[in-house]
Chains A and B, each alone.
Chain A
């Protein structure tokens, strides 16, 4: 029973406090609980709920800074995923900044901030599940692109259904990337900083998806034919930055 309380206390501490402080608090509580073992009910009564116990002990300024970082990183991740779902966001990407590639700005900002914020704290072993999820995400991204560009044109669909079907496939890919990115971000805070690699790869997949949707939704009739190489190099650049960033985040 005590383990349950301590597990919740550990989760709360790792979410709310910087890693060093969380480790210190958990060591202190372990010592206090070893001196005077108690049941779960006694712990709740005498120490309070784990989240409350951590809130009382945590430095609120550091927690606010983390929330700000979390909000910025989430925004970098979610904006590309929402680009076709909300008209205002589509306008941000396609017309608001004609000389700036907003998706590249978001990729760079998210990558730089995530690498800078989650600093090394002693030895962080590579989580077993992380390479599996990274591989699955890469496979999903490759699979969706293969299906849209190789399989979909051969399906017996009316010509006017091809575009919307491809759009839905990319929207679902963007949604999956957002969910895995948020999971990676949370796990990087709570468990191990190496989980930031999942955030970085998800961000790159989300941004790549957004870039493809922007090309598909472009009203420039020449864009897809004459300027194809420009789009191709942009997609290649995003993929290269994403994979390189994932590699750095794994270190």
Chain B
């Protein structure tokens, strides 16, 4: 599992909780992966949209400005479950090797 997949997993996780706009997704990921450029995270977000794992719409939260929001699709939910499973398996393997 590459770092790229971990970022995708995080993006999908954030969207599983609630629909979010671009900066709402970028900010926590910038803190979690400080050595990864925001443009790379944004590129992954676009790719997820292109591949149909997420979709976008114009919306606003509690009278705030109109922004582009992202939401998880059904296939996105399946991709999230698959990546999460892969991550757990990898973590289990690492634990067996004594890497915590």
Contact = CB atoms under 8 A, between A and B. Distances in A.
Interface of B: 21-23, 26-27, 30, 37-40, 42-43, 46, 50, 67-68
Interface of A is mostly: helix
Given A28-B68, A46-B30, A53 B22 contact: no
Given A27-B68, A46-B30, A57-B43, A35 B23 contact: yes
A42 to B, nearest CB: 11
Interface in A10-56: 25, 27-29, 31-32, 35-36, 46-48, 52-53, 56
A240 to B, nearest CB: 44
A46 B38 contact: yes
Contact of A32 (B23, B37, B46, B50): B23
Interface of A: 25, 27-29, 31-32, 35-36, 46-48, 52-53, 56-57, 59
B68 A32 contact: no
Given A27-B68, A46-B37, A32 B43 contact: no
B49 to A, nearest CB: 10
Given A56-B40, A57-B42, 19 more contacts: A25-B46, A29-B42, A31-B21, A31-B67, A31-B68, A32-B23, A32-B26, A32-B38, A35-B23, A36-B23, A46-B30, A46-B38, A47-B39, A48-B39, A48-B40, A53-B37, A56-B39, A56-B42, A57-B43
Contacts of B46: 25, 57
B42 A32 contact: yes
A32 B30 CA distance: 13
28 contacts: A28-B22, A28-B68, A31-B21, A31-B22, A31-B23, A31-B67, A32-B22, A32-B26, A32-B38, A32-B42, A36-B23, A46-B30, A46-B37, A46-B38, A47-B38, A47-B39, A48-B40, A52-B39, A53-B39, A53-B42, A53-B43, A56-B39, A56-B40, A56-B42, A56-B43, A57-B39, A57-B43, A59-B50
A60 B79 CA distance: 23
Contacts of A53: 37, 39, 42-43
Nearest to A57: B43
A36 B42 CA distance: 15
Contacts of B21: 31
